[in-house]
Structure 1
Amino acid sequence: MAALHRTESTLTALDEETLWEMMESHRHKIVRSICPSRLTPYLRQAKVLDQLDEEEVLHSPTFTNTVMRVGHLLDLLKTRGKNGAIAFLESLKFHNPDIYTLVTGLQPQVDFSNFSGLMETAKLTECLAGAIGSLQEELSQEKGQKEALLQRCRQLQERLGQAEARAQSLCQLEADHDRMKREVSAHFHEVLKLKDEMLGLSLHYSNALREKELAATRCRSLQEELYLMKQELQREKISSSHERESRERSLQVAGGLGPGDRELSRLKEENEKLRSLTFSLVEKDILEQNLDEALESKQELVDRIHSLRERAVAAERQRKQFWEEKEQTLLQFQRTKVDCDIYKERVTALQSQLLQLQKERDQAYSARDAAQMEIAQNLTEKDALRRKVFELTDQVCELRQQVRKPQAESLQGPKQEAGAREPCPKGKQRLVRMFAICPRDDSDYSCPSSTESQLCSDLSATSNRELVDSFRSSSPRPPSLQSLYKRVTDDFWEDPWSFSGFPETLQVDQGPSPGAKAGDADLDYEIVDRADLPECESSLQPFSGPDTSSSGVPVRRRPARKILSQVTVLAFQGDALLEQISVIGGNLTGIFIHRVTPGSAADEMALRPGTQIMMVDCEATEPLFKATLEDTTLEQAVVLLQRVNGFCCLSVKVNMEGYKKLVQDLEAKVATSGDSFYIRVNLAIEARAEGELQVRCNDILHVTDTMFQGRGCWHAHRVGPYSTTGAEDGTIPNYTRAQQLLIALIQDMAQHTTIARKQSSGGPQKLVRIVSVDRTKPSPLRSSFDGTPPQPSRLEGELLSPTEPSTACFWAESCFTLVPYTLVHPHRPSQPRPVLFVPSVAGKILSEKLCLLRGFKKCLAEYLSQEEHGACSQRGDIIQEREASGGRYCVTRRAVESLMEKNTHALLDVRLDSVCALHRMEIFPIIIHIPINERAAKKLKKVLQRLSTSEEQLLEAGRQEEGQLDRVPCLYGSLAPDSWSDLEGLLGCVRVAIADEQKKVVWTEQNPH
């Protein structure tokens, strides 16, 4: 059969049996693959079927499924002979090209000459065939896009599941952390109990030692008394022996006898004398009594000595026992101390893991938001394609109406059919998602034929399935306020430490805040009239005066900061606190008390000039009012202290050195306050009065006073591009007034589509830079309060100028708000910075030329396996990635830094949203914007042809990427449109711009979008 059907002309040359044999050999695939309602209109026009045959095929109750209907259709066409076979194959060519190729072995190419003899209206068939072919091709493309989007949605759902699993593991870790904290607390209480027991034992031991010493002292005294008694007894014995000897000598002398005789006589005389010696009864009783007393006293002494010895032995035994207990207690204390150290290490490790998990979660949320944005863009493109399909359908309707007019004149009866095929009304509404192709109101629009009806139903079903399968949103519009609030509430409860305050943002020598979430993307939004806002957004109306902010309106609080110096808390009745004290200072120096009203409550609490206010706490009277003033601006501090009107607690410390230095600077007019921070201006502000500073959009200003000459204006200096100091100074509106100017400017631009304002250089001036931030996230240019979980009913007031009703505004917690000023930090990279071109198509052209020069080299994406990709993602070293088989191609931090270390500019081919990731890595790329218009596109026509890119594609890419430049968290360089005439001139301008940007100070925003 392949030999027979080399060309389509041979089909008409075949006989009837051969043609039907070809179709009968594939009958089982034909009846399963085609839809009869799509083929019958063409077959009816080819006059191989009539209306009765079509009605029988499509609506006969005998045929219960599509297979039976297609089989009956083939049987009817077989009765029509060769014409039926050729007409059926031609209909397959338009509606089922795959089946046509399967049956004939030919590619479906439309050749109108082959079937000119079958149809009378050849021109109509030619137009219809072309329209159906284009619609078929667009429908196949749409199906491919739908499959790609469905696959992308499944991937995002898998990533969402992984993120939820990580969140669950984080919750488990938090629970373990709490349990370990409770165990540590219990062990700590046990250690305290052991300390108390040791103290009691030591007291008992000291008392026992004291008693032992008393017993030893008493024993020594008793021994001394015994020794004295022995000496006295010895003396008595000696004296009695002397007396006896003296009497014997006297007897010897008196008798004149010899020595022996005299001694004998003396003893005899003495015996006689003793015998003759008699005592009275009284004397005997006295002597016996003395003897008994002496014996008793001696026995008592002996007994007392024995008892003291026994007590000494018992005391020694008790001392040994207490010493052993002390050793055991010390050993147990050491063990408990080691266990506490181990628990501390575990808690520290757990906290570090929690911080890593928080960073991973932030990256996942950032990737999720970027994916949602990409899905919204894809849905917008699909809606545009559907709109084109709808317009082509209208054209088909009109063509059919034109063809039906002559037929209606010649034929009688088809009026009802022609009436059913009236063209679509031209005054239809604009295409709206989900109900654009087939509106619900049948009276407004009806499909002209069964073919268009089927197409409409298919598109409507596709749209409905996309609504069900889409992730979080089925519309290209931004998420609703309720959806945003839910996300913010989840973020807050899962990551309470990410809400940092104003103090960290004013350290200009540091890089971007580490607490900033990685890759926070800007969300699109619409500017609507306040009259169109729902009741839940009524909080956007400005409040009536300062009394409103102090009459129960809750204000955001941030987590309390640790104050490491010596701080004293004073509680007193602070009625009208700013009438009792006056303050000076700012975020750079701190807030100091400058004057105290004599006799006031503050004076009675010994508040004096030079006292620095660290924190104000009015939670006793206003539960949501607790603010840290350590790093707030003077304007914020005045507003916060002005709200105090009742019992309050002030945390203060004495800082006379800082106060004296501030007063000296104020008296010497070196400074006007203690404020100092840098901002990027997001709108153009004209100087309407003397002393005001005319500001252009994207100017960098150094704000030195937020209370300059009263309220409502700041004093600032314009900073040059090559330094952080500025010469030109003046006043600018404060944050609230600038925000009102920004909203008014946007409304004015919305009303007037074209605004022709020129700079002095002749180029158009950029009037506004749209930057939106989440109100639930902290902003350094707004109030810095102690954080509380966001409530949907709570409102947050802009506290920069509460005394002026027209300049204060409140927002709902879940809203996004426009930012007139953005806080920035300066950086001076020493190594060559990477280069990023906008648009990327022009960047590819310039990268090919620049990489041939010295000092420039492309930074290519490298292939990473799954394990390497996981490790790099864990470290946060991936700048941009795209999927590949078995792994991913990624632009990594290592590749960029290796080129920077070689003193080479890395030429990056990444999207603009990758700039935030580079800033988190302390890499600050040079962004060169090349304005592309039709004239510039013609200059690059030859180079674009080598890249297989048209001028229209370059212009479209330029328009899309220029809209993303406002979201870049840093300044960028832009070339003048008329500064180059060809590719070589553009290359020279780019080199000069890169060298100039390398010399400039890099200003980065604190929280990149």
Structure 2
Amino acid sequence: MAELCRTDSTLTALDEDALWEMMESHRYKIVRSIHPSRLTPYLRQAKVLGQLDEEEVLHSPRFTNSAMRVGHLLDLLKARGKNGAIAFLESLKFHNPDIYTLVTGLQPDVDFSNFSGLMETSKLTACLAGAIGSLQEELAQEKAQKEMLLRQCARLQESLARAEVHIEGLRQLEADHSRMKCEASAHFHEVLKLKDEMLSLSLHYSNTLQEKELATTRCRTLQEELYLARQELQRVDMVSSCEWEFRERSLKMACDLEPGDKELSRLKEENQKLRSLTFSLVEKDILEQDLDEALESKQELVARIHSLREQAAAAERQRKQYWEEKEQTLLQFRKTQVDCELYREKMSTLQGQVAELQKERDQAYAARDRAQMESSQSLLEKDSLRRKVFELTDQVCELRTQLRKLQAESPAGFQPEAEARAPCPRGKPRLVRMHAVCPRDNSDSSLQGSTESQLWWDLSTTSSREPANSFRSASPVPPSQQSLYKRMAEVLQEDPESLSFPEILEVDPGIPPGTKVDLDTDLDYEILDKADLPEPEGSLQCSSRDLSTSESSVPVRRRPARKILSQVTVLAFQGAALLEQISVIGGNLTGIFIHRVTPGSAADEMALRPGTQIMMVNHEASTPSFKAALENTTLEQAVRLLGRVTGFCCLTVKVNTEGYKKLVQDLEAKVATSGDSFYIRVNLALQGRAEGELQAYCNDVLHVTDTLFQNHSCWHAYRVNPYTMKTAEHGAIPNYSQAQQRLIALIQDMTQQRTVTRKSLGGPQKLVRIVSVDKANPPRSSFDKSQLNPSSLEDHTSTCFWAESCFTLAPYSLVHPHKPSQPRPVIFLPRMVGKILSRKLSLRQGFKTCPAEYLSQEEYDAWSQRGDIIQEGEPYGGHCWVTRHAVESLMHKNTHALLDVWLDSVCVLHRMDIFPIIVHISINEKTAKKLRKGLQRLSVSEEQLLEAARQEEMDLDKVPCLYSSLAPDSWSDLDGLLGCVHLAILDEQKKVVWTEQRP
């Protein structure tokens, strides 16, 4: 009762936050009960609402109903601060006293029986005087502010002059800089020219030296040929001289010999002399040597002629080949010229189109400017028309005052005036509620008492002239129940198909707890017969005539509101302790179903029954409201979200009897323990010390089937076979929050340890895999298809994987299975070792190094837009890229593509539905020495290999899939490593690929 005793001064003493918190707590009642058109005139007079704001609130097409307009009005007033809150409460005091009492706990100090919610003339004068005083104070403040701004403007002008002087100095420096830059560029060009001249001279000098060497060799060959020719000439001269002497002697002998015996004897003697002639051994050797040399020179000449003929034939073939190449080059040149002409035409057309688009853009800008100018002019005209309406309203008030004088003087004149009003049009005048604040004639003091008694009659007659189906009444009093019945009946009579009644709902003013609200309609009715319609108390006499003209059935409200839920429906009710009213079963695989409803609870009154599936929950309480979709959530998260409901809430539900029956049958047959089903990758080692717990290692894949197992603090999971996905041993594992605590404790223990225990034959034992996720978007189970409200404050909680708190360390990662049918590409780690292995492995059947393709800029832009670029080819650089086409072409050939890419490309490959095999080779100082020869070919030292291996192993845990790791002691040399890698690739090809779902 203390709140009811507060005065208006207590409201003024409250701060802005308290006032708006008071109104926000009753926002639902306010937006459902008041009409904005009744409050905007007073709010404009209080200077908390402008003309444009009023136009937006009353006539904006974005707001399709009165509740949306009132909500936007509250948002505008909230921006005005405390003045907006006080003005709004004062307007409620005049027009909606019930809402004013509900919000503030105060009784309005206006007597509505006498004043009918209208302001007195004296109070209005005082209000206007106060407003004028405040305006004068504001004017004085503005003058002072103007003087201050003038002084500031003078200071700014002085600083501007100094800045201009500084700018002049900077311009001079810039000119000097540009001059020096031009001189430097000129000197640079001169240096380039000198370099080019030196290069040309060096080339000319080298060519000259080559020509000199060629001339020397040619001279030597010519000297040898000259020597041989001289020897041949000497031999020929000797032979010819011998023959010539022999012929001369024979001729002389023939001339000198006589016939007969003398001649015969001479011949015999000569014959004997010739026979007696013998050559010495030296002469024989010389002749044989000459003969051999002649034969050899002849063979050399023959061989040289043969080689020259072959060179001539080869030159002829080259000439023909060069001629064909020339023809092809000319043909390509002509084609290129044609393509160039086509491209020129295309560019010209594109430039023309761009010019046209620019013209259209300029025209659109001009049209927009004209439209803005017209809208501003229309607003100015509207303001002028409003002022005229105010003036006409004052004239109407004066005329009505004069009319009441005449009526008071002659009572008989009332009936003709009433008859004259009857044929008036039924249209509603604009701004009719301005009568409540119109100023009266101060000279007319004699009619002070009669005016107050007649003004309510004026408003009632004005309301009677409105259409019967209009809910915008000029009267400040809300319409009665009979008036609503009459209006709805007339609407049905004029257009029976204009209203649809898809559901039978219970709707009360303000929507108290227990109200059921549909997605599409705000008010729904049931058609009852006219004979069954009860006669309300206090009904008007004139309503019987209107009801007689209506049809035999009219829409009325019905209690209780029960409906068969055959589609997605929103139920609004009091959901305090919601999990005590209902119990739920199901999970992310089947959905969340209501399994039990407490009799007599609010959920039971809203017709919630077992088998109803909960799609979404929207909780509105004193704390910021949250909205979460439960269609694909786990049972654990659904229970926690429903447990947060502590007040009025809205549930989006639908009836899914088949799914519910199947789930219940599976639970009764112990085929399943819940409706949850998803796969996780464990990021830490779980010891499984207690009885019934499942022992799991880091990077194991588990199938979770129940998130509320046993004492609601653990999950039930099965170990998954990496080759067949069949489930093996099962047991309990910690839930997400418990696993997070264990992960944090394990990391703390690891940081406190000074030394890390190592295995006797291997590297350090892996106990934990650190994975960071986004705090705003942690990993979710199968929630990625759910539609959530992004504007709600608790959106991140509703989308969290399984726990209320979202740490950056994830003990479990949600994974999805894939079974590729084609050979998967291979990525080696470290990359330096991968380059060595790729050369060896590509020689085997079924393996080939994936080449980097050359792409032009246009091809790169097109491929990059399609998402077909994996990574730039480092050995080539520039325009060479590893593309999706190259990888898939090798996969189609039943070949493993050996990729030389970074680990960041794994996510890119996953988006292409390509799942590579990652082979990690552990490297230490001992194993680095075994790869010394391969490293020397790459010009890489052992220290560089170890450093690169350490850096790449840090990024290995960020890979969203499993990988194969080779221990350092599993191979002894490069051939042994090659065999281990081959077996690891074949083994990974047989396994199921598990990929993480990243935000």
Output the TM-score relative to the length of structure 1.
Answer: 0.41
Output the TM-score relative to the length of structure 2.
Answer: 0.42
